[in-house]
Amino acid sequence: MSTIDGARLLAKSLKQQGVDFMFGIVGFPVQGIATYAQKEGITYIGMRNEQSASYAAQAAGYLTGRPQACLVVSGPGVIHAFAGLANAQQNCWPMILIGGASPTYQDGMGAFQEERQVELAKPYCKYAQGVERVDRIPYYVEQAIRTSKYGRPGPVYLDMPDDIIRGEMEEADVVTAATVGEPPRSQARPEDVEAALSALESAENPLVIVGKGMAWSRAEDEVREFIERTQLPFLASPMGKGVLPDDDPLSVGAARSTALREADVILLMGARLNWIMHFGLPPRFKEGVRIIQLDVAAEEMGTNVPAEVTLLGDGKTVVAQLNRALDERQWFFPAEAAWRTILQDKAAANAEQVAPMVDDDTIPMNYYRAYRDIEDWLPENAIIIGEGANTMDIGRTQMVNRAARSRLDAGSYGTMGIGLGFTIGAAVVEPDRPIIAVQGDSAFGFSGMEVETACRYGLPIKIIVLNNGGIGGGMDALPTDKPIPPSVLTPGAHYEKIMEAMGGRGFYVTDPADLRGALDEAMAFDGPALVNVCIDPRAGRKPQQFGWLTT
Ligand code: ADP
Ligand code: MG
């Protein structure tokens, strides 16, 4: 008779359930899980900080369409990884966190790294379970993976005590669980589909908002057909960008504030009326705006603004229903509508306003000038990771996304620190696509040590640090006569040397005339590279009509 231990049974169960990638940091008591994961054919990526590992796992989950794993040690390892659970929960992204735990027979004794992990994980995930018997591992893994990926996706947690990891059972007695299939895709009620189209037909200023729920449901073909047929103006959320190309003539991203404020009927697809969408309330939205809400989560319907029509179901399936229902109507939003002119004029005015900054070759550079070269240089099929304050916000408007799931950023939770975790996660699961991180200098600092991870695995990521020497802006030199202001970081810090020290290529750019050359050299290099671009510490965004977080 041969036996199997908990570590190997866990690795086998994960592999069976479609987990092909594991990001983590090993140590007591999880070392064996990582070793067996590799033996079972799971790609294991050893990271430098559990936060980054947990961010990498969720980026991998969002991009592959099924939960991927993060493996961490007990106590502090699990606590660090909660950052990723919370972020995945806010983004509605799947992932499975596996935490080692002190042995069950030492519960309450003050064991090494003993912590109330399952209890603490619960508020941050859809499902948290302590594994109390080796033979239950396949059962719990199936339940965790299914819960993570079905319905509104989210993170799950499995707690693996040392004695369960090392515990053994007869291999012949293992009861294999069913393999979790693709999420069932539910349809909206036919009368709601009709009501949605009637509401849109009755609109003077209609608008479609496309969120990352549509990217997750792989609805890009259906959404494209819907927009082509209805000719409705649309706006993407930050990570909904690319479901339809940003440079589609019907995109009104360049007139965002006006589109939101003046729209009278909005079809909200896989997006929430949270802070990112200014809660759907005045002054950012029209008083009494009529909302048609498409979401997979019934409890989301009506958050902040009551929905006139609810389309409850899977994004891909429901938009296909809308498209079929259009056959009977032959309706589209007329080309000569005044609404189109309002939006086009606003977009043109915005472009005109930033044009002088785009063409300003002053040293030190402003953001818009830096983004001019970056956007020209970006490959069509790149996955762009954006992180930082101005760097992310300006980058969202200046870098064009043309494919679904090609933008990852601070997201619904507004997390600084996702940068290199997301970048490495994307590089591991999408080896054929260029992976480009554009980060502020402050943002880079949260996960900068992961450049060692990228170098160790030879991941050809390209990192651009837009370095203004601070959080929101720095100083030309550190003060000697007063305390360093809280937001100030080292002026002109040489972050590219960290990359060089780990074996990658680094570039330091001060003159805009040198930027394109450095970017090209970085791209030509067959490994990780970092281009550190000095930005004027006083550079900012174009003036905004509304202050940040205006409600
Ligand atoms: P964004 O930041 O792009 O606005 P949010 O994360 O706020 O996106 O909202 C995404 C929404 O998409 C969530 O309310 C979630 O329930 C929903 N969603 C997730 N999966 C699907 C799906 N398969 N079909 C439709 N909606 C989905
Ligand atoms: Mg900065």
Q: What is the pLDDT of residues 130-160, one digit of tens each?
A: 999 999 999 999 999 999 999 999 999 999 9
Q: Which of 90, 216, 294, 418 to mutate to test the pocket of ligand 1 (most atoms within 8 A of CB)?
A: 216
Return the residue whose CA atom lies nearest to atom 6 of ligand 1: 91
Strand partners, 46: 24
Report pLDDT digits (tens) over 9-60.
Answer: 999 999 999 999 999 999 999 999 999 999 999 999 999 999 999 999 999 9
Decide if 293 contacts 236 (C-beta within 8 A). Answer: no
Model pLDDT, residue 546: 77
Percent of the chain with pLDDT over 70: 99
Query: Residue 146 has which token pair?
Result: 């299914």
Q: Which of 90, 92, 187 to mutate to test the pocket of ligand 1 (most atoms within 8 A of CB)?
A: 92
DSSP state of 155: E
Alpha-carbon gap, residue 238 to 510, rounded angstroms: 29
Strand partners, 443: none
Identity of the residue numbered 306: P
- Ligand 1 nearest atom to the CA of residue 270, by list position: 12
Percent of the chain with pLDDT over 90: 97
pLDDT band at 371 (very low <50, low <70, confident <90, very high): very high
With a cut of 90, say whether residue 228 has pLDDT above it: yes
Alpha-carbon gap, residue 125 to 21, rounded angstroms: 20
Q: What is the 526 CA–ligand 1 centroid distance (Å)? A: 36
Q: Is the whole-model pTM more than 0.85?
A: yes
* Burial of 477 from C-beta contacts in 10 A (0-12 / 13-18 / 19+): exposed
Q: What is the 416 CA–ligand 2 centroid distance (Å)? A: 12
Using the Cα atoms of residue 50, residue 55, residue 60 and residue 62 in order, give the sign of their dihedral.
positive
With a cut of 70, say whether residue 127 has pLDDT above it: yes
Q: What is the 318 CA–ligand 1 centroid distance (Å)? A: 13
Buried b (16+ CB within 10 A) or exposed e, 491-500: bbbebbebbb
pLDDT band at 542 (very low <50, low <70, confident <90, very high): confident
Model pLDDT, residue 165: 98
Alpha-carbon gap, residue 292 to 272, rounded angstroms: 12
Model pLDDT, residue 426: 99
Q: Nearest-CA neighbor of 286 among 301, 266, 272, 306?
A: 266
Q: Is beta strand 206-210 parallel, antiparallel or unpaired with respect to 234-236?
A: parallel
Q: For residue 364, say if its preceding peptide bond is cis, omega within 30 degrees of 0.
A: yes
Q: CB count, 10 Å around CB of 504?
A: 25
Alpha-carbon gap, residue 159 to 120, rounded angstroms: 11
- Ligand 1 nearest atom to the CA of residue 236, by list position: 3
Decide if 11 contacts 145 (C-beta within 8 A). Answer: no
Q: Is 501 left (phi over 0), alpha (psi -120 to 50) or beta?
A: alpha
Residues with CB under 5 A from ligand 2 (ion): 440-442, 468
Which stretches does DSSP call E strand in 424-527? 435-440, 462-467, 505-509
Report pLDDT digits (tens) over 395-414.
Answer: 999 999 999 999 999 999 99
pLDDT band at 71 (very low <50, low <70, confident <90, very high): very high
Q: Which of 296, 299, 314, 405 to mutate to test the pocket of ligand 1 (most atoms within 8 A of CB)?
A: 296
CA 481 to chain centre: 42
Ligand nearest to the CA of 390: 2
Q: Is 169 left (phi over 0), alpha (psi -120 to 50) or beta?
A: beta
pLDDT band at 495 (very low <50, low <70, confident <90, very high): very high
Q: What is the 215 CA–ligand 1 centroid distance (Å)? A: 8
Angle at 444 between CA 442 and CA 448, to 5 degrees: 130
Q: Which residue is listed with tokens 């989210």?
A: 154
With a cut of 90, say whether residue 540 has pLDDT above it: no
Q: What is the 39 CA–ligand 2 centroid distance (Å)? A: 42
pLDDT band at 551 (very low <50, low <70, confident <90, very high): low
What average pLDDT does the chain have? 97
Model pLDDT, residue 541: 78
Ligand nearest to the CA of 533: 2
Query: Residue 362 has which token pair?
Result: 């002053």
Alpha-carbon gap, residue 488 to 506, rounded angstroms: 23
| Protein residues with CB under 6 Å of any ligand 1 atom | 91-92, 152, 211-213, 216-217, 237, 239-240, 270-272, 274, 276, 295-297, 300, 314-315, 412
Ligand nearest to the CA of 493: 2
Report pLDDT digits (tens) over 437-493.
Answer: 999 999 999 999 999 999 999 999 999 999 999 998 899 999 999 999 999 999 999
Report pLDDT digits (tens) over 325-343.
Answer: 999 998 999 999 999 999 9
Ligand nearest to the CA of 311: 1
Report pLDDT digits (tens) over 302-330.
Answer: 999 999 999 999 999 999 999 999 999 98
Model pLDDT, residue 124: 98
Q: What is the 389 CA–ligand 2 centroid distance (Å)? A: 8
